[in-house]
Structure 1
Amino acid sequence: MSLAASSPPSALSGRPIVRLEHVSKTFSNGTIALKDMSLTIGAGEFISLLGPSGCGKSTALRMLAGLGEPSSGKIVWPDPAEKSASDKSEGEIGFVFQEPTLMPWATVFKNVWLPLRLKGISQAAARPRVMEALEMVGLDKFADSYPRELSGGMKMRVSIARALVTRPRILLMDEPFAALDEITRQKLNDDLLRLWEQFGWTIVFVTHSVFESVYLSSRIVVMAARPGRVIDEIDVDAPHPRGIGFRTSQAYGDYCRRASESLLSAIGAADHL
């Protein structure tokens, strides 16, 4: 079965795939990372969580991945049954961290094979899926290379392929392109959008960049810090495929202005608490 076949068709876009219901998170040191956050994520959406440092974006993402539990509230997966994030089976969630976190002693192929290996799938049985994932990110010719031989952008592509090889229902991305130069970042933005448009994935993407959030998203969720909470949502009603024409359009500028104003409000809301 191909990755395309495992992805939700565009006709299903908008069907709720996961809900955060009045989620709060307080750490053991007393820091309130999130307070009363509610958000519904529809199948096939590309959602960006935009906000200042310390607003709980990454905390929300990690709880969606089952890497932490809410202090109060709940995370609900309506289909096929209501279960907490920690109850989700392997393969339903893909996570791309801020750093590629690759094993330096392993080849690109073996780095991408890792999540399947942990599920007991042999290298031979996993090969078609690993090569398919590498082909999707343009690295099928680098399967036998080592991380030290790759550029920063290529390492991040390997990290994305590793998340995709499990054929997840939802892809969570925690500022994956923040450390890259602008040209590489724009290229990876374009490639990610192309894959999302082609396969109809559900993506939740954390970013500090107004420009990146507008370019990528179907919806921007703006968050304020101390305590982290949603203060605005912006629907980016721009056609696909997107490219240089959209980046230089009046509509793009207008959306960026709206998101910038909302982000300034978010920073102000934090400063006055």
Structure 2
Amino acid sequence: MSPGKTSSAVETGLTHLAVSLRGVTKTYDNGVMALGPLDLAVRKGEFISLLGPSGCGKSTVLRIIAELSAPSSGIVRVARHEGEVQPGQVLPGHGIGFVFQEPTLMPWTSVRENVWLPLKLAGVPKADARARADQALVSVGLADFADSFPRELSGGMKMRVSLARALVTDPEILLMDEPFAALDEITRFRLNNDLLALWRALGKTVIFVTHSVFESVYLSQRVVVMTARPGRIQADIRIETVEPRGEAFRTSAAYSDYCRKVSAALAPSYSGQSTL
């Protein structure tokens, strides 16, 4: 995809988009241009992965979408709930859930209290917050560990807690920054399957950052391949398969073909050359 073009979703207008980035760049105070110009459109309810070499700006894209970092130039539009939000009220679809590379849990408090933290900060009454935290833990398979402490959990379980915390406000958009990178392969496969099941059940828009070609193809409806810094879009590849995906897809010829296609699109970014 050339830098002057956006994905086809832009042509449908902003009504059905969760996120639209147009001509977005990011230059740091030290003069390093980390990103762009980058154009990206993500439909509501879509699952996409951002794939590219280290330092290409994948995490920067997430931080800009989440308003944790301001772009140096360009236009960023993120779908949000319209209407007034009352004190202590967290509306479905209002805001963004963010799952970082590390679980970043508070070690001195329980799993339940870690999950309800965003509701506490929003002023949600404790009884309501507890019920919603418990429901979030049910959704990630940790209902029996609500009173446990982070030190008692495995790495995969800690990441599930982090995911529950991101989901507890029922956000429309879920941003995930390499959440499974540090996990063993068996745990990672299991969490990939669980994440897909959650996405199908909840209908969230998911933007997932990964370094893994295999993970990106398995999870995503689209794999957006980025160039080396400054990050731009090298390729936008749609993964069309029969849903729901499972182990049959992971071992299929179609999966292998898509992995080869994504790997070929990624190769120039690692060789220092771009096909733009």
Q: 1:5: which partner in 2?
A: none
Q: 2:225: which partner in 1?
A: 222
| Cα distance between partner residues in 2 of 1:238 and 1:99 | 31
Q: Where do residues 66-77 of structure 1 align in structure 2 (5 Å cutoff)?
A: 66-77=67-78
Question: Among 95, 98, 103, which residue is 1:95 paired with?
Answer: 98
**Paired residues of 1:136 and 1:161 also in contact (CA < 8 A):** yes
Letter in 2 for 1:34: L
Letter in 1 for 2:151: R
| Cα distance between partner residues in 2 of 1:110 and 1:79 | 27
**Paired residues of 1:49 and 1:206 also in contact (CA < 8 A):** yes
Q: 1:148: which partner in 2?
A: 151
Q: 1:184: which partner in 2?
A: 187
> Does 2:112 correspond to 1:109?
yes
TM-score by length of 2: 0.88
Superposed displacement of residue 271, structure 1: 8.3
Superposed displacement of residue 242, structure 1: 0.9
Change (3 A) 1:270 1:147: farther
| Cα distance between partner residues in 1 of 2:274 and 2:239 | 27
Change (3 A) 1:110 1:270: farther
Change (3 A) 1:119 1:266: same
Gaps of 5+ in 2: 1-14, 83-89
Gaps of 5+ in 1: 1-13, 82-88
Superposition RMSD in Å:
1.9
Q: Where do residues 1-273 of structure 1 align in structure 2 (5 Å cutoff)?
A: 15-77=16-78, 91-269=94-272
TM-score by length of 1: 0.89
Letter in 2 for 1:49: L
2:181 is paired with a residue whose SS is: coil
**Paired residues of 1:226 and 1:270 also in contact (CA < 8 A):** no
Q: Deviations over 1:217-248 (max 9, x none)?
A: 00000001121111100000011111110011
1:153 is paired with a residue whose SS is: helix
Letter in 1 for 2:236: E
Letter in 1 for 2:243: H
| Cα distance between partner residues in 2 of 1:98 and 1:109 | 20
Letter in 1 for 2:197: R
Letter in 1 for 2:30: N
Identical-residue share of aligned pairs (%): 60
2:112 is paired with a residue whose SS is: helix
**Paired residues of 2:140 and 2:160 also in contact (CA < 8 A):** yes
| Cα distance between partner residues in 1 of 2:79 and 2:262 | 30
Letter in 2 for 1:184: T
**Paired residues of 1:225 and 1:266 also in contact (CA < 8 A):** yes
**Paired residues of 1:223 and 1:231 also in contact (CA < 8 A):** yes
| Cα distance between partner residues in 1 of 2:214 and 2:270 | 17
Superposed displacement of residue 199, structure 1: 1.5
Number of aligned residue pairs? 253
| Cα distance between partner residues in 1 of 2:202 and 2:100 | 21
